[in-house]
Amino acid sequence: MPKLYEYFGLVVLFYSNEHEPIHVHGLYQGRECRADLIVVDGKVVDIHFHSVKGRQALGNAQLRDFRILVEKYSADIVRKWVDYFVMHKTIQPEMINRRLT
């Protein structure tokens, strides 16, 4: 399960057995949400956020952080999805130590 980012305790990752659409999971202290990235002609045109069945959803502050991170890094997430699932490359996690706005 490749970790993409860590952001003030929030972990954003892919599960190794993922499926389309391109999406990431945000985990924080046992809570989880998912973001589906809608890609048209190679560009992210929309992002849908929702809970994960069987898991408690992220709290308000972490959900806000997850939304901001996914929106800011959406193109990078798509690139990492292709690298990992299509090209079978190793993904190096990034620590984000500055607040995103």
Domain boundaries, the chain: 3-90
The predicted model gives 9-16 an average pLDDT of: 95
Q: Whose CA is closest to 99, among 71, 69, 79?
A: 69
Quick one: pLDDT band at residue 58, thresholds 50, 70, 90? Answer: very high
Band (pLDDT 50/70/90 cuts) for residue 1 is: confident
